Structure 1
Amino acid sequence: MAAAPRHILSAELSTLRQRQGDLSLDKAGNAGVWARYTNDTSRLSDNKNVGFKNTLNGLEIGGDKQIDLNQGKLLVGVFTSYSNSDVKFNDGGNGEIRSYGGGAYLTYLDTSGFYIDSVLKGNHLSNETRTQMSSGNTGTGSYSQNAITASLESGFSIPVYQDYALEPYAKVQYSKIGSADYTLSNGMKTHIDNSDSVQGELGTLFSTKFSSGEMVLKPYAKLAIAREFIKSNKVDINDIGFNNDFSGNVGKYGLGLDAAITNYASVYAEVDYQNGNKVETPVRVDAGFRIRF
């Protein structure tokens, strides 16, 4: 269970495009609301001590105010989130993590196609675990953790031919997850140290755009590579120390669609496959809508 929160925080935040769609399609209104649903099923293993499957379903709701500038616009917003993760360990145990979050973001969109997005988010993680012992007995327990995450993302659009464009981006994300102590019903004691996560991501979208009446459609393909840099997250079980190392690279491949239905309403969706030496996500889905007024 100690390794799951890092993945959950990363899955919840994701990129600006996954969170709010293509904001360049917004043509009217100076304020807005949005909502996004996320489903992420991933298999993770540090190839040594820990292996598990994490199935996350989450909802995020936010709103922002637009400030017009000479060469672009600034969005100042807040959001809240909830996700539920079903965790199944390779050794037969299982658990559940309920994540409650909220935060704020500041996004600058330049008329040239350049953007920069910053997010600060806090989470409360409520954990329940059921551990299968080698003797066949089951130990149950619960505990909670608090976490804070900050991310910074930037990108721009490069016209290629007519309505085709490349949209490279870079993102860095840092998470700090609090410590926890708990004792299972069978007497097994666990101490989870404070843990950190530092992730970097480089990627690009290849997009096109076409109109159908009042509607504007923008399909795209995504190719990216991400890396977790932190190699040490310590856990003590009955005073025996373990280190969960989930550092390494992950390739990300996706297809998405942004659709401006009117000048005031948009919908968006993205489907991804992710694969690395310690994590595989066969299917990840993000879908949402934005309304401007």
Structure 2
Amino acid sequence: MDTIDTIETIETQGIRIPRLGFGTFRMPGADCQPVVESALALGYRHIDTATMYQNEEAVGAALASAGLARDTLHITTKAWHDSLQPDALRRSFDSSLQRLRLDYVDLFMVHWPAPDMNLPALLETMQKLREEGRTRAIGVCNFTLPMLKTALDDVRAPLACVQVEYHPFLSQAGLLGYLRPKGIPLVAYAPLAQGRAASDPVLAKIGAKHDASAAQIALAWLLDQDGVMAIPKARRKESQQSNLGALKVRLDDEDRRAIAALPKDQRYVSPPCAPEWDA
């Protein structure tokens, strides 16, 4: 199978992040290692993991096995919402680094906000980890717009990106409207709507026009947008390769109008720890 040499990157807070990354959610344990090894062999260089995924050890083993130069990789990990007090956050971070077998990560993120979190103290601790050279950048996931305004406008945290659920069936227009003027990119998780995009007739019709799959159209739609990255998950090598094929798809205005007409209120990731989402 063909591999891809380079993937376009977005520069933010002194780091460059490949716009198409590889997600590892719901791949716990050692079974994750060969999956990540396959992705790396195909050319993925942006790997997204988290403490909660219970696969940091497997990701670390895959990185070690691949033997790629560390400065060619972008590795993201995240702290769970029960570890956001400064001391607990440091312990979580130390454990993540140990499991990943790395001296530093490229991006350290808050996975989910907690109702009782002390946001200034939390962000100060993350910034200290950055100053120590243990993470090259910091970010947050699943923050509401008011939380982000506190972090960015009041605390003035140097967030490199914000990661949220985003796909053709869920609008993030309000968030993007706030982040873009600040030059902060958005990372789309569940970019295929947990598999639903692959069977959507509108996306499939657009795909037929471009000799592409419905899933490739969903990814191409995200990557067509300024300041948006995507981290699809794919266990099978064929699916990993197919997702890379989305990089070659060029949508036209007719395609964009058809996707804009899809429902935009379908949120599929809302665990008990989720905040009250903005209306």
The TM tier, using the shorter chain, reads under 0.3
TM normalised by structure 1 equals: 0.27
More strand by share: 1
TM normalised by structure 2 equals: 0.28
- Higher Cα Rg: structure 1 or 2? 1
More helix by share: 2
